[in-house]
Every structure is written in C-alpha cells, then in structure tokens.
Structure 1
Amino acid sequence: MQKITTFLWFDNQAEQAMNHYISIFRNSKVLSVTRWPEGHAQQGQVLVASFVLDGVTFQALNGGPQYKFTEAISLSIDCETQQEVDHFWTRLTEGGGEPGPCGWLKDKFGVSWQVVPEQLPRLLQDPDRAKAGRVMDAMMKMGKIEINKLEAAAKG
C-alpha cells in the first residue's frame, strides 16, 4: 500500500486528465471513479477519481476554478533513454502543453512535469566539478533534455 498519494485539483477536467495520463504511462489503470449524485448540479460528472500511473497512485478532484496548478510543484519522470524522454515530452506537451526550460514542461491541464534522463543527475554529481559545470551549462540551454549533448559537454 502506498502511504502518500498525490492529489490533483482540477476545475472540471479530472476524468479527461486521468484518461490522458493513463494513455501515456505503461502499467496504468483507473482504480475508481466517484461521480456527483443524482439531484446535484454536476450530476453524473466526476467528483473524484483514483488511478495508477506506472505503479504510482494518484487522485484527481473536480474541485472548481478557485485553485490553479503552478510550477511550485511538479511531477518528475525518470527516463533511461532518449526515446523515453522524447515519448514523455511529446505526449505531455501535445494538445496545448507548453515546453519549458531545462527539461520542464506544462501539460494541457497546467500540471508541471520534469522529464529527466538518468544521465543528468549522474553527470551533475560527478566529482569532477568542471565536468559537472559543463553539463549544467549545456542543460541550461535546453528545453527538452538531449542526452547526447549532455555527454558531449561532459567530455569537454
């Protein structure tokens, strides 16, 4: 059982977001959907939904427009290959998402994501601080992270 679950507050796109995310991540599924009861103004619409993305449980609430997502919190995706980076970057920015700097993006729902190849933290933590500095400089010039450019910067 997962002790801590990320809870995402949407205006009215919880079901759409959940289905979009499930289509992107492997090993994903809907756990439950609770809809507004009969007689309520939002009757039949999703109130709260629980779902799993690649083994991690999330909840989504249609709570109304009073709160918006900001970059103050983001979801980070660890990637092993450039192919994975490209997949997540493309799928999460499609349909109105916004690419950002240094591997960050916002999806079409306003949720911030970091798409991070495993090479980035490893190279940034290299004991050779000059090497790590070159990698940092290269990363700061990127939107989507490109592994080959990180490795070239590391080599000098």
Structure 2
Amino acid sequence: EAMEHYHKVLGGKLEMFAADEHGRPGPAAQGDPIMYAQLELDGVVIVASDGQPKYPAKVGEHIGLQIRGSDRAQLSGIFDGLADGGQVKMPLTDQPWGTAGWLTDRFGINWNIDIEKS
C-alpha cells in the first residue's frame, strides 16, 4: 500500500515482486504476497519490503527520506501528496537557502522536502 501511494505521488514505474515455489522473485500476480516492490523514476530506484513475521518493523525505527530539487510546483505537489493522511511537522517555509518542509506520512515515514533557490 505504501509503495502504491509513493508511486501515485512521485510517478515513475512501480513493479511488485513475489516469490515463486523455489523462493526466487518474479512479477507478482493479483493477490500474491509481495516479496518486495521497486519504484523507478528518472534513473533512481527505490526498493522496499515489509518486515518479516519474526522481525516486524517497529514504528519509530523507520528511516527518514529527503527529496531535493528546484522545481517548486513539482516538489510542492509531492509535499502535499505525501502529507495526505499524514502529519505536517513544518509546512513548506522560506529559508535563507530555499524552501523546506517536513512531514510524517500516513505510513510513519519522515520526509524532508527541500526546494533550492532558482
């Protein structure tokens, strides 16, 4: 669900992978348990997987991510999309070096969005 949301917000190509009967990854069919997902955009690949039952992910131990660039309209849209259902910690605010905002998305992931001065 998280990767589908990030795909909606960021764009790019989303692929979901499931394990075959030998444990090898391959394209997931509808209803398959997902082994991992990857989102490719502009030559960058983001890969994500869930925790395993023996080692579940714990809220508060997640990573934070930063997106930086100079396209104000694009990055403002990304900020708004990630904030949907989440919590804005600092709205996009002008800083001496550009504009910055900070939020926690609805999946508990922290995001910093930095818009560089043109």
Name the CA distance, whole Å, in 1 between partners of 2:76 and 2:10.
13
Given that 2:40 and 2:46 are in contact with CA atoms closer than 8 Å, whether structure 1 keeps it comes out as yes
Q: 1:110 aligns with which of 81, 86, 108?
A: 108
Per the alignment, residue 14 of structure 2 pairs with 30
Name the CA distance, whole Å, in 2 between partners of 1:111 and 1:21.
11
Per the alignment, residue 48 of structure 1 pairs with 36
Q: Which of the two has greater strand per residue?
A: 2
Give % identity.
30
Name the CA distance, whole Å, in 2 between partners of 1:72 and 1:30.
21
State the Cα distance separating 1:79 from its structure 2 match: 3.0
Q: Which of the two has greater helix per residue?
A: 1
Given that 1:104 and 1:115 are in contact with CA atoms closer than 8 Å, whether structure 2 keeps it comes out as yes
Q: 1:93 aligns with which of 83, 92, 99?
A: 83
Q: Which has the larger radius of gyration?
A: 1
66-75 or 78-87, larger mean C-alpha shift: 66-75
Given that 2:62 and 2:109 are in contact with CA atoms closer than 8 Å, whether structure 1 keeps it comes out as no
Over 3 Å counting, the alpha-carbon distance change for 1:25 and 1:19 in structure 2 is same
- Is 1:78 aligned to 2:62, yes or no? no
Per the alignment, residue 60 of structure 1 pairs with 48
Name the CA distance, whole Å, in 2 between partners of 1:20 and 1:108.
10
The two structures, once aligned, show a CA RMSD in angstroms of 2.8
Query: TM-score normalised to the size of structure 1?
Result: 0.51
Residues 82-139 of structure 1, C-alpha deviations (whole Å, 9 max, x = no match):
3233201110011x211113511111111111110112xx9xxxxxxxxxxxxxxxxx
State the Cα distance separating 1:23 from its structure 2 match: 1.6
Residues 37-95 of structure 1, C-alpha deviations (whole Å, 9 max, x = no match):
6xxxxx8221212221443112211225732354873211113143233201110011x
SS in 1 for 2:49: strand
Query: TM-score normalised to the size of structure 2?
Result: 0.65
Q: Match of 1:45, as an amino acid?
A: P
Given that 1:36 and 1:46 are in contact with CA atoms closer than 8 Å, whether structure 2 keeps it comes out as no
Name the CA distance, whole Å, in 1 between partners of 2:20 and 2:104.
28
Name the CA distance, whole Å, in 2 between partners of 1:115 and 1:19.
20
Name the CA distance, whole Å, in 2 between partners of 1:114 and 1:87.
13
Per the alignment, residue 24 of structure 2 pairs with none
Identify unmatched segments of 5+ residues in structure 1: 1-15, 38-42, 123-156
